[in-house]
Amino acid sequence: MKHLLLVAAGGAIGSSARHLVNMASLRWFGPSFPWGTIFVNLAGCFAMGVMIELIARRFGASQEMRLFLATGILGGFTTFSAFSLDAAVLWERGAHQLAALYVGATLVGTLTAIFAGLWLARSLA
């Protein structure tokens, strides 16, 4: 239960930060391009790389700290950072084909799923 609460608390922080970034980007750049989303994805992936290397590998942070920071805050900020970390771990393990399959299946699968969901909801309306 303690781990779940750590992830939930971190997720609230990350989700709130994502919302603030999206609102600021709408004010600054307008709605013509999803600048907030791309910034969040890039910043979240960069932060995940730094965090995993420093906290998990160099400083040996506790599981609780990793759950709060990586799964909670960064997971709430952008799940793209978790996707990117999974792909990087596969790549660094030498599973290059599996990493490529994971990336391709995720991108094609998620885009297919979003269009299928839109189609279903529109069909029922």
- pLDDT tens per residue across span 2-57: 999 999 999 999 999 999 999 999 999 998 898 999 999 999 999 988 988 888 77
How many distinct structural domains can be found in the chain?
A: 1
Query: Does a structural domain hold residue 24?
Result: yes
- pLDDT tens per residue across span 64-119: 999 999 999 999 998 888 899 899 999 999 999 999 999 999 999 999 999 998 99
Query: Does a structural domain hold residue 32?
Result: yes
CA 4 to chain centre: 18
pLDDT score recorded for residue 68: 95
Q: How confident is the model at residue 1 (pLDDT cuts 50, 70, 90)?
A: very high
Nearest to 36 by CA among 46, 26, 45, 44: 26
Q: Which pair of tokens denotes residue 3?
A: 């781990």
pLDDT score recorded for residue 9: 97
pLDDT score recorded for residue 59: 84
Query: Does a structural domain hold residue 31?
Result: yes
Question: What residues contact 77, with CB distance under 8 A and at least 6 apart?
Answer: 14, 15, 17, 18, 40, 43, 44, 47
Query: Does a structural domain hold residue 11?
Result: yes
Query: Does a structural domain hold residue 101?
Result: no
pLDDT score recorded for residue 73: 95
Domain that holds residue 50: 2-78
Using a cut of 0.95, tell me whether the model's pTM lies above it: no
Query: What is the CA angle 84-111-83, rounded to 5?
Result: 10
Q: Which amino acid appears at position 19 of this protein? A: H
CA 104 – CA 114 distance, rounded (Å): 15
